[in-house]
Amino acid sequence: MSSFGGFGVTWRKFAKGFFANEEIVTTEYSAGTRTGKHDQKREKAPRLHGRHVLNRYEDGMEKCIGCELCAGVCPAKCIYVRGADNDPADPTSPGERYGYVYEINFLRCIHCDLCVEACPTEAITESKLFEFSFTSREDAIYTKAELVVDAQTGRPQQLPWEDWRDGDDQFTSGWVRATAPQGDADYVGRVGWSGELGYGVRVPEQGQTVETPWSPPAAATDSHGDHAHGH
């Protein structure tokens, strides 16, 4: 379509709305649907991919083991991870290693969620926060200290340049993987998502069936609690 053709579409739509007195669908930024209140945003989709968070187990230990799979699968090359060995006397994660360095460049991130799918420990998920207002490039590169959830509440860090609204931390992208329809038949219909600090075990998606919450066999637990490996 040429430039003139594009302008033609614009003017035809304008004339149709003006002369036919049809409702104009364009709303002012951040206005709720037909509310007229410009401080209320539209309801977000349950699977919306927004700003990432690094989760903790219910006992407060970090889920990230520094395996770098998220960085390897990222098509935008916006994730940088470096692992380090856990201190046996004071481990950060229940595995042998933990995420010593974790950075995401949100100027490059395309929110594809591939990092979430690649993560073997359900450490990284995406919240529904999508609005950033950076004043410098450094603010757009989130460090581990900014990504990891609060050690007491399990809630995401809320930075000054982020516009968090109620529910933005609920039902993150990991919620989609609460149950799996394939694999071992013994686990079909059972929640396979490990508990998170502040949230517990994610409920299954609408339409999925659940018999009983999944719990790891005794042999799969370790000294730090019921953390499953390879479930």
Q: Is residue 14 part of a domain?
A: no
The angle formed by the CA atoms of residues 80, 160 and 123, to the nearest 5 degrees, is 35
- The CATH number given to whatever domain includes residue 70 is 3.30.70.3270
Spell 106-126 as b/e; 16+ CB within 10 A means b.
Answer: eeebebebbbbebbebbbbbb
Q: Is 224's pLDDT higher than 60? A: no
Please report whether residue 112 resides in a domain.
yes
Residue that is written with structure tokens 């229940």 in the block: 94
Tell me how many domains the chain contains: 1
pLDDT at 64: 95
- Cβ atoms of 144 and 54 closer than 8 Å: yes
Q: Which domain holds residue 156?
A: 52-173
**3-state DSSP percent of the chain in helix, strand and coil, to 5:** 20, 15, 65
pLDDT for 8-62, tens place per residue? 887 887 777 666 666 666 655 544 444 455 556 677 877 788 999 999 999 999 9
Whole-model pTM? Answer: 0.70
Distance CA 139, CA 208 (A): 39
Q: What is the pLDDT of residue 191?
A: 66
Give CA–CA dist 164/51, Å, rounded: 10
Q: Is residue 63 one of the residues assigned to a domain?
A: yes
Instruction: Tell me how far apart the alpha carbons of residues 81 and 147 are, in angstroms, rounded to a whole number.
Output: 12
Residue 160 lies in a domain: yes
Residue 211 lies in a domain: no
Assess if residue 125 is contained within a domain.
yes
Q: What is the pLDDT of residue 170?
A: 80
Residue percentage of the chain with pLDDT more than 70:
68
94-146 pLDDT, tens digit each? 989 999 999 999 999 999 989 998 998 889 999 998 887 888 888 899 999 99
Any domain includes 7: no
Q: What is the pLDDT averaged over residues 162-166?
A: 86
Per-residue pLDDT at 152 exceeds 50: yes
| pLDDT range class, residue 231, cuts 50, 70, 90 | very low
Task: Assess if residue 204 is contained within a domain.
Answer: no
Return the pLDDT at 32: 47
227 band by pLDDT with thresholds 50, 70 and 90: very low
